[in-house]
Homo-oligomer: A and B are copies of this chain.
Amino acid sequence: MSNPPRYPLPDLNSLPDDLKAKILEVQEKAGFVPNVFLGMARRPAEWRAFFAYHDALMTPETAGRTSGLSKGDREMIVTATSAANHCLYCVVAHGAILRIYEKKPLVADQVAVNHRKADIAPRQRAMLDFAMKVCLASHEVDDADFATLHAHGFSDEDAWDIAAITAFFGLSNRMASFSGMMPNPEFYLMGRVPKTK
């Protein structure tokens, strides 16, 4: 039903205890194990660094830090970056989370196809423009790009957040695409249907 990944997923029970514990925790919370957790787990040292980096950027409070970006902002950057890199896993998985955080069932598809047409705030549009420059031409980032961010109320710390999230998911996108990682079917529908009581 799905293309097999190029690298077989390891058995959960064969993994070191810390990986196993974290993965079970995610499973408990999400109801399934997102493939990235097993796809990266064949190399525990890389796995630990990958998720430590992920958490430092995506849940800054775990790093004792606050951020000027909302959770939705961050997932929006991930979705746009992953679309620019044509990464199927990340567009689908993080698009799902974006829909949930922003409470906007349509936003992920819009950002993935053409962020210039998406129903997002002008501030978010500027944020994504900056992310796209870091993603596609980081060597050309200059003072004018920072000035545009500042004009939309972003601080230099926020700029670091945008750039670092873009850079980290550029790594993630390349790993997922090269290794043939496929999104779990559960992601495709998440956040699309408004919850009813």
Interface residues, chain A, CB within 8 Å of chain B?
A: 1-3, 6-7, 43-46, 48-50, 52-53, 55-57, 62-65, 83, 85-88, 91-92, 105-106, 109-110, 112-114, 116-119, 134-135, 138-142, 146, 156, 159-160, 163-164, 166-168, 170-175, 177-180, 182, 185, 188-189, 192-193
Contacts and interface: CB of A to CB of B under 8 A. Distances in A.
A50 B48 CA distance: 11
A193 B140 CA distance: 30
Majority DSSP secondary structure for residues of A touching B: helix
Contacts of A117: 3, 88, 139, 177, 180, 182
B142 A163 contact: no
A110 B139 contact: no
